[in-house]
Structure 1
Amino acid sequence: MNERFPIYASPRSTQWAGSQQDAKKPFGNIAFEVERAATPILGCTALGVHMTAYEGEGDEMKIWVPRRSANRIRSPLKYDSSVAGGLPLGLTPLAALVTECEEEAGWPEQLIKNHVRNAGMISLFQISKWGGLAPDSDYVYDLKLPPTSSDEYQPPKPNDEEVESFQLLSIPEVISALKQNEFKPTSAVVTIDFLIRHGFITPENEPNYSEILRRIHRRSGIAGPGY
């Protein structure tokens, strides 16, 4: 994949003897780096960023959903998060997100910085092709686009070979696509997290609500930034 990814060790590790203050800084406890494709083989956490872009509120809310290109190795032609990507060495989550927004959707940096909001993280285990468990943690962001009448408003447009097209889907359409397994798995989890946080999935309408919450916020026991 030709991307260098950081691998973390606990700030309390003997590796940081004499320099624990540096290790306790944000993203300061990097032990070494590896090629991105090797992280699941080593059983290390692969960090990423996902953003859900939407318009409107309540029953009028709609989400911008891209369809992945047919040439993607993973989940070709599946729906994806509005913008998503890995968190390579040397970038903060916001910096990585700004880069991905420009590359995948043509959104300028200032639009993102003006309107994006961090909304926490998801953490889970994926089952790899060879049957192993690969830990995955992603920083989650929401982007409420300004009104269409605003000078700032800009719909997404495919800007690289990773995205085939964008669709503005209603919440019922998004939920239907989730139920029909039309989303890339990790992006499905991000979308479910968004629907929970915005009150579309609740204990009153989802019998497995508590189990869903546990499964999308798992503790991996593997070192990451700051722990």
Structure 2
Amino acid sequence: MSDSLDLAQHIAADVAADLVTRLAANLAARSRFDPAQHLRLTVEGRQVGWLPRRHARTLRKLEGAEGIDFAVLGAESADAVALLPDVQGFEARSAALARLARRLAAHNLLRGWRDEPFAVTPALAHPAFATIERAAARYFGLLTFASHMNGIVAGQRALWIARRSESKAVDPGMWDNLVAGGMPHGSDPLATLVRECDEESGIAPWLAAQAQAHGEVQVLREIDEGVQWETVYLYDLELPADFVPHNRDGEVAEHRLVGADAALAIMADGAMTLDATLVTLCALRRRGWAPPVPGFAA
């Protein structure tokens, strides 16, 4: 009996080690960022984004096009460039960026128009310099914000995850946290979370408001659209054992209740979005449900 138990524990340890190795490699592969290929995008001397140099060349070509009667970018200085150097004030900048976003969309350079304003800002607490259509934020490599929540089942070593709809513009069909949403201009982390809880998983506002904050993680990586530079605010919510989430906005294809090992396997396979992987791993590490992952500090 003892030999059988030792063998089972040895096999389990080998499986966990393999998952951790694959997960570490997956995280590294999806987190590449080369500063030399980007410009620090600034407004009033404050960095608001990481603009891909290839996009800078495209933006300069748009200057003088129909509706673009302003300088999109200033002169490059070292590794930085100013956005809308001759346009002053929140309203004027926002109007100029709206025209620019429509022009980019007309050239099929943006993915998934949202009609949702994101802030152009160096920090969440800083007054926004302007707003821009959400679909254009990653083209410019702008700093964005999001709230993600792990749905932990009370009394169990398990959590709920959600599969993104195939119609989503970003990461269609991939696994995600139970609740995850970008933060529009004028919102805050908790308000964003409570709204998304209701829409994505049918979690009532009174229950969503009980979510526990666990800091934030930073994402900076090159993607097809440009750059994902995002501050992700982490939350955990303990859910009743009989709770079953249901989607209300059509953005979730399915929900699944998974154990810690199954969650690790999904992440190791690269089937979960990068930001959701980081958020989930933080929760598993906090609870001692996952071993340390090289290169990742939870």
State the distance in 2 between where 1:9 and 1:78 align.
Answer: 30
* Counterpart position of 1:97: 193
State the distance in 2 between where 1:9 and 1:158 align.
Answer: 33
8 Å CA contact 1:105–1:159 kept in 2: the answer is yes
State the distance in 2 between where 1:192 and 1:9 align.
Answer: 27
AA at the equivalent of 1:145: L
State the distance in 2 between where 1:143 and 1:98 align.
Answer: 11
Tell whether 2:121 aligns with 1:8.
yes
* CA deviation after TM superposition for structure 1 residue 212, in Å: 1.3
* Counterpart position of 1:107: 203
Which of residues 134, 140, 147 in structure 2 aligns to 1:36? 134
Tell whether 2:233 aligns with 1:139.
yes
State the distance in 2 between where 1:43 and 1:164 align.
Answer: 28
* CA deviation after TM superposition for structure 1 residue 28, in Å: 4.4
TM-superposition CA deviations, 1:70-94 (whole Å, max 9, x none): 2122222211111001100111111
Q: Point out the structure with max Rg over C-alpha.
A: 2
TM-superposition CA deviations, 1:39-73 (whole Å, max 9, x none): 2222221111100101135xx31110111112122
AA at the equivalent of 1:186: D
State the distance in 2 between where 1:67 and 1:147 align.
Answer: 20
AA at the equivalent of 2:168: R
* Counterpart position of 1:164: 253
Which of residues 178, 184, 187 in structure 2 aligns to 1:82? 178
SS at match of 1:193: helix
8 Å CA contact 2:154–2:240 kept in 1: the answer is no
In structure 1, runs of 5+ residues without a counterpart are: 11-25, 149-153, 217-227
- Which has a greater percent of helix? 2
In structure 2, runs of 5+ residues without a counterpart are: 1-113
SS at match of 1:126: strand
Aligned pair count reads 185
State the distance in 2 between where 1:162 and 1:36 align.
Answer: 16
SS at match of 1:107: coil
Q: Which moved more, 1:37-46 or 1:81-90?
A: 37-46
Distance 1:4 1:133, change over 3 A: closer
SS at match of 2:177: coil
8 Å CA contact 1:126–1:136 kept in 2: the answer is no
Distance 1:147 1:63, change over 3 A: closer
State the distance in 2 between where 1:99 and 1:110 align.
Answer: 11
* CA deviation after TM superposition for structure 1 residue 147, in Å: 4.7
State the distance in 2 between where 1:165 and 1:134 align.
Answer: 25
TM-superposition CA deviations, 1:11-53 (whole Å, max 9, x none): xxxxxxxxxxxxxxx7343222111122222222111110010
AA at the equivalent of 1:55: V
* Counterpart position of 2:4: none
Sequence identity (%): 28
State the distance in 2 between where 1:87 and 1:107 align.
Answer: 18
Tell whether 2:147 aligns with 1:49.
yes
* Counterpart position of 2:270: 181
Which of residues 169, 192, 199 in structure 2 aligns to 1:73? 169
Q: CA RMSD in A?
A: 1.9
State the distance in 2 between where 1:7 and 1:197 align.
Answer: 33
8 Å CA contact 1:54–1:62 kept in 2: the answer is yes
